[in-house]
Amino acid sequence: MAEELAETLPRSPGVRPRSAPGAVLSRAAWGLRAYGFIAAMWVRSTMAYRASFAIMLAANFATTSLDFAAIMIMFAQVDALGGFALPEVAFLYGTSCVAFGLSDLLLGSAERVGRRVRDGTMDVLLTRPVPVLAQLAADRFSLRRLGRITQGSLVLGWSVLRLELEWTPGRIAMVCSMVLCGAAIFGCVFVLGGAFQFWAQDASEVQNAFTYGGTTLLQYPPTLFGKELVRGVTFVVPLAFVNWLPALHVLGRDDPLGLPGWADYAAPFVALLCCALTGLVWRAGLRAYRSTGS
C-alpha cells in the first residue's frame, strides 16, 4: 500500500526543492517515511537475536533506573526535597525521563555526525535520495532504548497514582504536552549537537576546554563530565518551560520566579521555536560541510 502511495508522490519537480512550501512538506513527509523503513530494518535485524536484545533492554532499564534509585535513597533520609514530596519529585523525574527516552530513541543517533565525517560515510549519505538527517537519525535505530522509557513511565505512573490530584482532561493534556514537547526539545539538542560537529570536527580544543576544565575543577571522570555539563546547560534552559513550569501548574503550586500565567502554556511554542531553529542550524551545518568537505 505504502509503495503505491510513494509512486504517486511528485517525483523530482522541475522547481528547486526549497522554493515551494509544498515541496518542503513533501520532502519532510518523504524523510519521515524513509526514517520509518530504515528504522524498521534495524528493528528486524536486531530481533534476529532475541536473547541478546532482551539482555540489552534489561541492562538499559537497570542502568537508567539508578538515577531514580539515588532519589529514593535521599528520600529515605528526608521527607521532602526543596519542599517537594517523593511523589512530586517522581512526577518531575518521570516526565523528563520519558521525554528524554523518547528523543534518545528517535534521534539519539543524530549525534554521530563527527564520526561519520571522519570515516567518510557522510559522503555516502549525501549520495542517496533521502534527507541526510532522516538517514542519520534512523541509523542503528535500537529498541533497547525503550528500557529508559519503560522505567520513566513506571515512575510517572506510580507518581500519578500517589499524587492525590483530580485528573481533569486539562491536567492529562498538560502531562502529554510536557512529555511530547520535552521530547521535541531534547531531540533538538541531539540534532544541534550533531550539526555543531560539522564545524567542530577539528575543534578538539573546544572539547578539551570542557573535558579538562571539568577535571581540574571537580575531579570528575572527564569524558562523562564534559558531556553531562554541556547537556546540563543546554537542556536546562528550554526545559524550564517544558517541564518545570507545566509541572508546577499540574501540581497546583506557585512558580517561585513569579512568571506570568501564560508561561505555563508556552511549552508547545518553545518546542516549535526550537525545532525551527534546529532545522536552520542543521541546514547551515550541512551546507558548511558540503562546501568544505572532510
Partner 1 sequence: MADEGGEFIDVQDLTKTFTVRRRTGLLRRTAEEVRAVDGISFTLRRGEMAGFIGPNGAGKSTTIKMLTGILTPSGGRLRVAGVDPWRERTRLVRRIGVVFGQRTTLWWDLPLRDSYGLVRRMYRVPQARFEENLARCVELLELGDLLDVPVRQLSLGQRMRGDITAALLHDPDVLYLDEPTIGLDVVSKARVREFLRTLNAERGTTVLLTTHDLSDIEQLCKRVVVIDHGRLMYDGPLAGLHEVGRGERTLVVDLERELPPIEGLTGARTVRTEGPRQWLAFPASASAAPLVSRLAAEYPLVDLSIREPDIEDVIARMYAR
Q: 37 or 269, CB closer to partner 1? A: 37
Residues 6+ apart with CB under 8 A from 110: 133, 136, 137, 190, 191, 193, 194
Q: 13 or 252, CB closer to partner 1? A: 13
Give the nearest distance from C-beta 248 to partner 1 in angstroms. 45
Q: 123 or 228, CB closer to partner 1? A: 123
Give the nearest distance from C-beta 140 to partner 1 in angstroms. 8
Q: 225 or 282, CB closer to partner 1? A: 282
Q: 120 or 252, CB closer to partner 1? A: 120
Q: 85 or 125, CB closer to partner 1? A: 125
Q: 128 or 253, CB closer to partner 1? A: 128
Give the nearest distance from C-beta 201 to partner 1 in angstroms. 12
Burial 83-114 (b: 16+ CB within 10 A, else e): ebbbbbbbbbbbbbbbbbbbbbbbbbbbbbbb
Residue 48, Cα to own-chain centre: how many angstroms?
Answer: 27
Give the nearest distance from C-beta 293 to partner 1 in angstroms. 5
Give the nearest distance from C-beta 124 to partner 1 in angstroms. 5
Which amino acid is residue 195, in one-letter code? A
Question: How many whole angstroms separate alpha carbon 74 and alpha carbon 92?
Answer: 16
Give the nearest distance from C-beta 21 to partner 1 in angstroms. 17
Give the nearest distance from C-beta 123 to partner 1 in angstroms. 5
Q: 120 or 256, CB closer to partner 1? A: 120
Of 109, 77, 74, the residue nearest 93 (C-alpha): 74
Residues 6+ apart with CB under 8 A from 137: 35, 106, 107, 109, 110, 191
The binding site for partner 1 (CB under 8 A) comprises 3, 6-7, 11-12, 16-17, 27, 34, 37-38, 41, 44-45, 119-121, 123-124, 126-131, 140, 287, 290-293
- Give the Å distances, CA to CA, from 255 to 79, 165, 211, 246, 260: 21, 18, 35, 10, 9
Its sign, for the CA torsion 82, 83, 89, 92, is: negative
Give the nearest distance from C-beta 42 to partner 1 in angstroms. 8
| 150 grid coordinates | 519503560
CA-angle at 110, arms to 99 and 238, nearest 5°: 40
Residues 6+ apart with CB under 8 A from 35: 134, 137, 138
Of 50, 34, 28, the residue nearest 143 (C-alpha): 50
Owner of C-alpha cell 576544565: 213
